[in-house]
Structure 1
Amino acid sequence: MEETIGMIKLFLVSGFFILLGSTQAAADGYTTGGGRRLAAAPSLPVPITLITSAVDKGAVCLDGTPPAYHMDPGFGAGKNKWIVNLEGGGWCDSVRVCRYRKASRLGSSNLMDKQMYFEGVLSSNLVKNPDFYNWNRVMIRYCDGASFTGEGYDASNRLYFRGQRIFNASIEHLLSIGMASADQVLLAGGSAGGLAAILQCDHFSAFFAGRRGTTVKCLADAGLFLDAVDISGGRTLRSYYGGIVATHGVAQNLPKSCTGRLDATSCFFPQNIIGSIKTPMFLLNAAYDTWQIHESLAPDAADPRGAWRACKSNRSACDASQMTVLQGFRGQMVSAVQGFSRSKANGLFINSCFTHGQSKYRATWNAKGSPTIQNKGIGKSVGDWYFGRAEVKAIDCPYPCDKTCHNDI
């Protein structure tokens, strides 16, 4: 049994809070008698659905509440096509932090926003999202804290680490309501959800094994988190990921192609996984990913004197030595995708922007003035790759050559 509830004023995408009102909603479109959605009227907010049947499977949020999703049904030629998007929102790396997280919408479906407006790759606007606007578009909410990979339970704190069960139960539910007959499917995600899309890509594809004629591909936006050395010589993100892996019992659910040769923490880093993924995948990432610059490359703990504070807030404030470090970080990202890019089935769009997450925002997905590489934008690039219209292996030249970026300041 499912229930539908509520209203939205604020929601979290890839770790950033976005306030939505009637002005932002105004261009997503409406359905005409011919089944097309035009840009003349506002879209309807998409209500939340709780998967209450998942509770019996132990597939629950950190606090034990049911998992949830938002779905805008497909129409016309898109009725048998599905995008399943995994929500982002960071992680929790210890029982103490997860205890706080379970008292938020990132740990409890009781506290989630009840409605959501879909933008970017999830938009129902024909003009702004021509390749996917009429598909069944789903956002699976994030409430486990380990990119949908955990398996465990802390009885003393009543914390459920059930990310893998949430993923499985959510996909099984979507299959039961129509996705089983899909002819085209795209698993996507941004930030922590982008990492999840990478980790779960082949597992997701396996749900469609034996179903003839179903095309399955994956899109990871801002999910290419690097195992980088920080400015103090430490490995801040590796330490953090180690805590996530241990707290949530992640190791058993990581790709065996990686854990057979590397430790579990290494296998939580995409650079060690992407080369062995069999399902076609598209990596969309900013070469100067702002979350990674703030939290992995130059975190406050590695910068006690605040020498990087201004640079992190405004790239124009970076001095020559800091820019050298940033260019080195970009070099690591480009190097990390070299093997991945050799597969004709895979796609890349690595632009030289200072941002984090670009697929779920109208301004960066397919709007006038959106980021481009060689005059091709993100939405067009993903569409060309998915439908096989063109091979897309776009890696931008180093900053400051790109004048089309939408940067976070």
Structure 2
Amino acid sequence: MVEKLAFSAILSNKKQYNPDFYNWNRVKVRYCDGSSFTGDVQAVNPATNLHFRGARVWLAVMQELLAKGMRNAENAVLSGCSAGGLASLMHCDSFRALLPMGANVKCLSDAGFFLNTRDVSGAQYIRSYFKDVVSLHGSAKNLPRSCTSRLTPAMCFFPQYVARQIRTPLFILNAAYDSWQIKNILAPRAADPYGKWQSCQLDIKNCHPSQLKVMQDFRLEFLSAVIGLGRSSSRGMFIDSCYTHCQTETQTSWFWQDSPILNKTTIAKAVGDWVYDRTLFQKIDCPYPCNPTCHHRVFTPQDAPPI
């Protein structure tokens, strides 16, 4: 693990790159637990010496930040991408409860809206995987009660079943053709033993018409899940049609000439307008390949997995 990380995009302290948040106090919580900070198992794995205690890590970090001055915050945004985006959803209301009553608190989930869907073989791979994660980490007791009172803990690891009950203002930023989800949920290796999807996964331009049809159907299912959350006067939304994963921590996709544009608006401006209550941004892009501002980022093995 690298000891130092460059703060860019939404974490940048340069006004020209991050006009709405450059002068905020910015903290990056390093991801270390494999369960979006929901794990809590007392026993240590004797074979690996692994500690599945992400929820305790989360609480310890919050307590330290509160002691350092966050308890006096007037504005706060809990954000994250991928597994961090999922964590932002799962901990959104509990984060709000830590801060003063009058504070303006909001949550931003970037590429964290993982979809409960079947893979190209028809199997429920991701549902089984999430069930194993929740079981291994003992996550059930730390998932939102508003969901676990109705559904199994494994189902409550999917944002589509959790986000409707979130009371804190939430912004969902996601690519409808999320490159990580295409590779690991729609066409995981187990469902693609002969590697027919490998070229397509590396670059959407390589996809055969039949594969594009599958991806277009995935987009429709994704949009159905997002729209199924219901109408909200506080929920922001920027759903583009780029083939990418995570867009708030890379300068080119956040606020620069290569940022995806919806309604003549960059991601940074859409999020800033929503945080400062200038405009409630809620836009869904047209289907691929309609948006010329999309610069599809190839997913590489070095990209951090979401779980």
Displacement of 1:114 after TM fit?
1.9
**Contact persistence 1:217–1:280 (CA under 8 A):** yes
Q: Which residue does 2:216 correspond to in 1?
A: 327
**Contact persistence 2:160–2:229 (CA under 8 A):** no
Structure 2 counterpart of 1:400, from 286, 289, 295: 289
Q: CA–CA distance in 2 between the matches of 1:380 and 1:269?
A: 28
Structure 2 counterpart of 1:383, from 251, 267, 272: 272
Q: Which residue does 1:299 correspond to in 2?
A: 188
Structure 1 counterpart of 2:70, from 150, 161, 179: 179
1:139 aligns with 2:63: no
Q: CA–CA distance in 2 between the matches of 1:191 and 1:250?
A: 18
Displacement of 1:169 after TM fit?
0.9
**Contact persistence 2:175–2:239 (CA under 8 A):** yes
SS at match of 1:337: helix
1:230 aligns with 2:119: yes
SS at match of 2:239: strand
Q: Which residue does 2:148 correspond to in 1?
A: 259
**Contact persistence 1:341–1:348 (CA under 8 A):** no
Q: Which residue does 1:348 correspond to in 2?
A: 237
- RMSD of aligned residue pairs (Cα, Å): 1.1
Structure 2 counterpart of 1:269, from 158, 167, 176: 158
Q: CA–CA distance in 2 between the matches of 1:269 and 1:130?
A: 32
1:188 aligns with 2:97: no
Displacement of 1:387 after TM fit?
0.7
Q: CA–CA distance in 2 between the matches of 1:124 and 1:205?
A: 24
**Contact persistence 2:111–2:175 (CA under 8 A):** yes
Q: Which residue does 1:240 correspond to in 2?
A: 129
**What amino acid maps onto 2:15 in structure 1?**
L
Displacement of 1:145 after TM fit?
1.2
**What amino acid maps onto 2:148 in structure 1?**
T
Q: CA–CA distance in 1 between the matches of 2:162 and 2:102?
A: 27
Displacement of 1:369 after TM fit?
2.7
**Contact persistence 2:81–2:110 (CA under 8 A):** yes
Matches within 5 A, 1:33-182: 112-152=1-41, 153-157=43-47, 158-182=49-73
Unaligned stretches of 5+ residues in structure 1: 1-111
**Number of corresponding residues:** 296
**What amino acid maps onto 1:363 in structure 2?**
T
Unaligned stretches of 5+ residues in structure 2: 299-307
**Contact persistence 1:199–1:254 (CA under 8 A):** yes
Q: Which residue does 1:62 correspond to in 2?
A: none
**Deviation readout 1:369-398 (Å, 9 max, x if unpaired):** 311112100000000111110111010000
**What amino acid maps onto 1:198 in structure 2?**
L
Displacement of 1:278 after TM fit?
0.4
**What amino acid maps onto 1:331 in structure 2?**
L
Q: CA–CA distance in 1 between the matches of 2:203 and 2:32?
A: 32
**What amino acid maps onto 2:225 in structure 1?**
A
**What amino acid maps onto 1:230 in structure 2?**
D
**What amino acid maps onto 2:151 in structure 1?**
L
Q: CA–CA distance in 2 between the matches of 1:254 and 1:212?
A: 23
Q: CA–CA distance in 1 between the matches of 2:16 and 2:102?
A: 28
Structure 1 counterpart of 2:95, from 191, 204, 208: 204
Q: Which residue does 1:84 correspond to in 2?
A: none
Q: CA–CA distance in 1 between the matches of 2:235 and 2:251?
A: 24
**What amino acid maps onto 2:166 in structure 1?**
I
Sequence identity percentage: 48
Q: TM-score by structure 1 length?
A: 0.71
Q: CA–CA distance in 1 between the matches of 2:196 and 2:246?
A: 26
**What amino acid maps onto 1:123 in structure 2?**
S
Displacement of 1:155 after TM fit?
4.5
Q: CA–CA distance in 1 between the matches of 2:146 and 2:102?
A: 26
**What amino acid maps onto 1:355 in structure 2?**
T
Q: Which has the higher contact order (CA 8 A, sep 6+)?
A: 2
Q: Which has the higher strand share?
A: 1
Structure 1 window deviating more from structure 2 (334-343 vs 198-207): it is 334-343
**Deviation readout 1:277-309 (Å, 9 max, x if unpaired):** 000000100100000101110112101222212
Q: Which has the larger radius of gyration?
A: 1
